[in-house]
């Protein structure tokens, strides 16, 4: 490898303390299954599926073969007014997985772009339906919907907004669903469904006919796994339906089996009007996102356009990139052949059993978990995130990969891990938390 691989000046890293990283870089050089090799020796076990991306594990040859074959046969074609068969095949395959009539897929290159696309489709739909005054978008405190301006506006992770004061006009946020009384709840907390009535209050305050859409993560992921209180999503669905507001589930983390069902919508039995997805869509192998929209939205947009006209003035150069489609089709084949969503459901109990055993550690202030997604909150030590950052370094040093948000340790094991491997990763997590 070139010497430049150790020159840390030029790659401006995302969500990273760049200068500190250069002092003691955390580099990996290889990955197979649930294990990575550190560039300077040693092994890391992956307790967070990369970044919620790789349920089927790293280095899957089926995906590598599909990508390689695609690069040789058709490495690119624009999706603007042209196309290739794999995107249509993939859209049909995903439509068969989504609940209700979410049967039409718009492809993007990331979760952030999927969110922007869903918000724009919501506004376009309301206009096409003859309600152009519906321009308000409703988000939620502590939500993460990516880093572009739409997602940042409806998102509610405060630190991500600092320094970027520009925001979409007309966005308001419902309260988050973390409640003191629900600390150490396993699965969905008992209380808090009434927090969904915040949406009703916005209908009263601004007029329902001013609101286009409400977006939530079924389980808030990046903030540290906040499962919805029992009855909360049902109530949101009811209020949206009664008031002509579109309900968008951002399933960038929950989608493709993370909660032991195809999507979070299935786990909670609530059908939204749109679902955003990314990450596990290609098992993390090639960047790709998508938005599933229901038949009403699709038909309304199609019917509103004059004959031969473009129905939605939106798209990306790499929308439905052939290589991403090939990677996604191969990933869906693996999920089906290995029954990986069923496997995630089977692993939920052993995973949560060990996770919740960490309650006895003095530094632990809360634990939450559902499906193969969980979080352990450590008490802050001074400024929020100071202890968390030290922990992040310690986790890597001790050979386990997790996601830290502030002082919360977030875990999302790959579905191909065995029960013993889940025990192994959580043992390492426990040992590090215990040392604080
Ligand atoms: C719920 C949710 N939405 C959107 C995003 C943004 O996705 P990306 O980082 O691919 O842009 C994420 C990323 O973690 C996410 O968790």
386: CB partners within 8 A, 6+ apart = 380
For 309-374, give the DSSP string. --S-----TTTT-HHHHHHHHHHHHHHHHTTHHHHHHHHHHHHHHHHHGGGGSTTEEEEEEETTEE
pLDDT 10s digits, 196-238: 999 999 999 999 999 999 999 999 999 999 999 999 999 999 9
For position 176, what pLDDT does the model report?
98
Q: How far is the CA of 151 from the centre of ligand 1 (A)?
A: 9
Given a cut of 80, whether residue 51 has pLDDT beyond it is yes
Q: Look at phi and psi of residue 14 and say left if phi exceeds 0, alpha if psi is from -120 to 50, else beta.
A: beta
> Which domains does the chain carry?
3-56+339-434 (3.90.1150.10), 64-337 (3.40.640.10)
Q: How sure is the predictor about 166, in pLDDT bands with cuts at 50, 70 and 90?
A: confident
Q: Is the CB of 156 under 6 A from ligand 1?
A: no
What atom in ligand 1 is closest to the CA of residue 148?
11
For position 181, what pLDDT does the model report?
97
Residue nearest to atom 13 of ligand 1 (CA): 146
Tell me the two tokens of residue 123.
């506004």
For position 2, what pLDDT does the model report?
81
Given a cut of 80, whether residue 1 has pLDDT beyond it is no
Percent of all residues in the chain with a pLDDT value above 70, rounded to a whole number: 100
232: CB partners within 8 A, 6+ apart = 177, 192, 193, 195, 196
Q: How sure is the predictor about 156, in pLDDT bands with cuts at 50, 70 and 90?
A: very high
What atom in ligand 1 is closest to the CA of residue 221?
16
Euclidean distance between CA atoms 26 and 343, whole angstroms: 31
Task: Look over the chain and give the mean of its residue pLDDT values, rounded to a whole number.
Answer: 97
Q: Which of 90-99, 152-161, 363-372, 417-426 has the lowest mean pLDDT?
A: 152-161
Q: 17 pairs with which residues across the strands?
A: none
pLDDT 10s digits, 296-321: 999 999 999 999 999 999 999 999 99
Which three-class secondary structure state does DSSP give residue 377?
Answer: strand
Q: How sure is the predictor about 163, in pLDDT bands with cuts at 50, 70 and 90?
A: confident
Given a cut of 80, whether residue 165 has pLDDT beyond it is no
For position 79, what pLDDT does the model report?
98
Q: How sure is the predictor about 273, in pLDDT bands with cuts at 50, 70 and 90?
A: very high
Q: Is the CB of 110 under 6 A from ligand 1?
A: yes
For position 365, what pLDDT does the model report?
98
For position 167, what pLDDT does the model report?
87
For position 111, what pLDDT does the model report?
98
Q: How sure is the predictor about 124, in pLDDT bands with cuts at 50, 70 and 90?
A: very high
Q: Is the CB of 202 under 6 A from ligand 1?
A: no
For position 244, what pLDDT does the model report?
98
What atom in ligand 1 is closest to the CA of residue 250?
1
Euclidean distance between CA atoms 320 and 316, whole angstroms: 9
pLDDT 10s digits, 382-431: 999 999 999 999 999 999 999 999 999 999 999 999 999 999 999 999 99
């Amino acid at each position: 490898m070139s010497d430049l691989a150790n020159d840390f000046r030029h790659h401006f890293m995302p969500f990273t303390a760049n200068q500190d990283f250069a002092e003691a870089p955390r580099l990996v050089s290889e990955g197979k299954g649930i294990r990575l090799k550190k560039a300077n020796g040693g092994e890391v076990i992956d307790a967070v599926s990369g970044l919620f991306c790789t349920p089927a594990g790293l280095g899957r040859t089926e995906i590598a073969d599909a990508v390689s074959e695609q690069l040789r046969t058709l490495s690119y074609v624009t999706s603007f007014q042209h196309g290739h068969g794999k995107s249509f095949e993939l859209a049909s395959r995903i439509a068969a997985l989504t609940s209700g009539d979410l049967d039409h897929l718009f492809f993007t290159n990331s979760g952030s772009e999927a969110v922007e696309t869903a918000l724009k489709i919501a506004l376009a739909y309301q206009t096409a339906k003859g309600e152009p005054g519906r321009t308000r978008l409703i988000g939620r405190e502590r939500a993460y919907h990516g880093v572009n301006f739409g997602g940042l506006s409806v998102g509610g992770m405060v630190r991500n907004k600092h320094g970027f004061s520009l925001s979409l006009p007309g966005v308001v946020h419902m309260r988050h669903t973390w409640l003191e009384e629900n600390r150490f709840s396993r699965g969905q907390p008992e209380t808090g469904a009434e927090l969904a009535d915040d949406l009703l209050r916005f209908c009263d305050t601004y007029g329902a006919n001013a609101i286009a859409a409400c977006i939530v993560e079924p389980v808030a992921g990046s903030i540290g796994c906040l499962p919805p209180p029992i009855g909360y999503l049902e109530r949101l669905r009811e209020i949206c339906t009664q008031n002509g507001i579109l309900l968008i589930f951002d399933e960038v983390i929950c989608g493709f089996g993370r909660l032991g069902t195809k999507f979070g919508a299935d786990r909670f039995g609530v059908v939204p009007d749109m679902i955003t997805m990314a990450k596990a869509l290609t098992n993390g192998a090639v960047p790709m996102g998508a938005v599933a929209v229901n038949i009403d939205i699709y038909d309304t947009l199609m019917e509103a356009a004059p004959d031969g006209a473009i129905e939605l003035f939106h798209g990306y150069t790499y929308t439905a990139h052939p290589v991403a489609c090939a990677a996604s089709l191969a990933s869906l084949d693996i999920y089906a052949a290995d029954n990986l969503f069923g496997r995630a459901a089977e692993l939920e109990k052993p995973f949560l059993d060990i996770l919740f055993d960490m309650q006895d550690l003095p530094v632990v202030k809360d634990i939450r978990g559902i499906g193969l997604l969980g979080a352990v909150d450590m008490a802050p030590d001074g400024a929020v995130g100071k202890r968390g950052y030290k922990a992040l370094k310690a986790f890597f040093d001790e050979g386990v990969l997790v996601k830290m948000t502030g002082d919360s340790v977030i875990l999302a094991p790959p579905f191909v891990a065995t029960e013993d491997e889940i025990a192994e990763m959580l043992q390492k997590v426990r040992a590090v938390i215990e040392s604080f």
